[in-house]
Structure 1
Amino acid sequence: MKYATIKPTDVANGPGVRVSLFVSGCTHYCEGCFNSEAWDFQYGEEFTEETIETILNYLNYDYISGLTLLGGEPMHPNNQKSLIPLVERVKERYPQKSVWCYTGYDFERDITGDMLLRLPETSRLLACFDVMVDGKFQMENKDLKLRFKGSSNQRIIKVPESLLTGNIVMWD
């Protein structure tokens, strides 16, 4: 897997100050995407053990609230396996910090439904996520006043509660 960039301090993609990893590779091709250069799976730097250590070190400050995964598309099957060591180590080392994931996929249909959940990696990732922002960015629904999402069709979902109840539980 490759990644486009790492932001050691990000206040736009989840609550508080966060570390954000922008992975490379996306097949959604949303019109108006703010990060279209990351559609290319070969864009950016190689994601290595050293990259994971760098992110873990960035998280090692009290003022950092957690990790956010964006892209590109973190939930694309080509990216999932590489992200597991990162998110599992984040949850082990920093259990008080939240992990957010932005995806263009639909939570019920694509992630917990038939498409992606067939991958063993998907379940392992979901076990580490606190919140998922799902749905493709839609230019016609773009709203700059929305908190932590770009278009009104997207949802901010509490992952553990949604998996436990079998119903979507929204984050406030």
Structure 2
Amino acid sequence: MELRIAGTVNDSIVDGPGIRFTIFVQGCPHDCKGCHNPQTHDFNGGIIISTEVLLEKIKGNPLLDGVTFSGGEPFCQAQALASLGKEIKKLGLNIVTYTGYTFEKLFESRDQNNWDELLKVTDILIDGPFILEQKDWEIKFRGSSNQRYIDCQESIKQGRAVETDP
């Protein structure tokens, strides 16, 4: 499968717990004022890369604790990320997915656009749009205080957002 990405970071310590391989997908419908990654908004920007190439890069770093899907909006490329996520899970790595959608929106619409498949491989979901007026430098792994750090698998089981500590 292929993904349209803005880029990757091999050894991130700011995109979730531990050392992470971060994939910044290209394309975002949210247009959040003050976005940290505005270059990822254009759905026609970035580069096309195969998920197999990304998987080989991930396998090439033995120090990784996990992989982060950021953006852009990962749920706009849910099918390809879910497929890649299944292979990442086989490596014993965890997955953090950032989204401008809320868990509630994703869960209620999970049968559309392969959103359910991406939720199923996500360990931690960091949800909600970035709100510049709620920007907070003190919270881990989030840009604004409205964004939640969610145990995605427990949330799926309970049918509601279950927040956890980073």
TM above 0.5, yes or no, is yes
Query: 1:125-172: CA deviations, max 9, x gaps?
Result: 111110000000000000111111000000010001111122321121
For these two proteins, the number of residue pairs brought into alignment is 163
Q: How much has 1:98 moved relative to structure 2? A: 1.1
In structure 1, what is the Cα distance between the partners aligned to 2:160 and 2:33? 30
CA distance in 2, matches of 1:141, 1:120: 30
Letter in 1 for 2:81: L
Q: Which residue of 1 aligns with 2:48?
A: 46
Structure 1, unpaired ranges of 5+: none
| Matched residue type, 1:145 | E
Check if 1:154 corresponds to 2:147.
yes
Matches within 5 A, 1:84-95: 84-92=82-90, 94-95=91-92
- The correspondence for 1:29, drawn from 28, 31, 44, is 31
Q: Which residue of 1 aligns with 2:72?
A: 72
Give TM-score, length-normalised by structure 1: 0.89
Pair 1:99 & 2:92 matched: no
1:151–1:54 CA distance, 2 compared to 1 (3 A): same
Q: Classify 1:49/1:158 alpha carbon distance in 2 versus 1 (closer, same or farther; 3 Å).
A: closer
Alignment match, 2:161: 168
Contact kept? 2:55, 2:88, Cα under 8 Å: no
TM score, norm. by length of structure 2: 0.92
- Where structure 2 has 5 or more consecutive residues not aligned to the other structure, the ranges are none
Q: CA deviation at 1:50?
A: 4.2
Q: Percent same amino acid at aligned positions?
A: 34
Over the residues paired in the alignment, what is the CA RMSD in angstroms?
A: 1.4
Is the contact between residue 10 and residue 20 of structure 2 (CA under 8 Å) also seen in structure 1?
A: yes
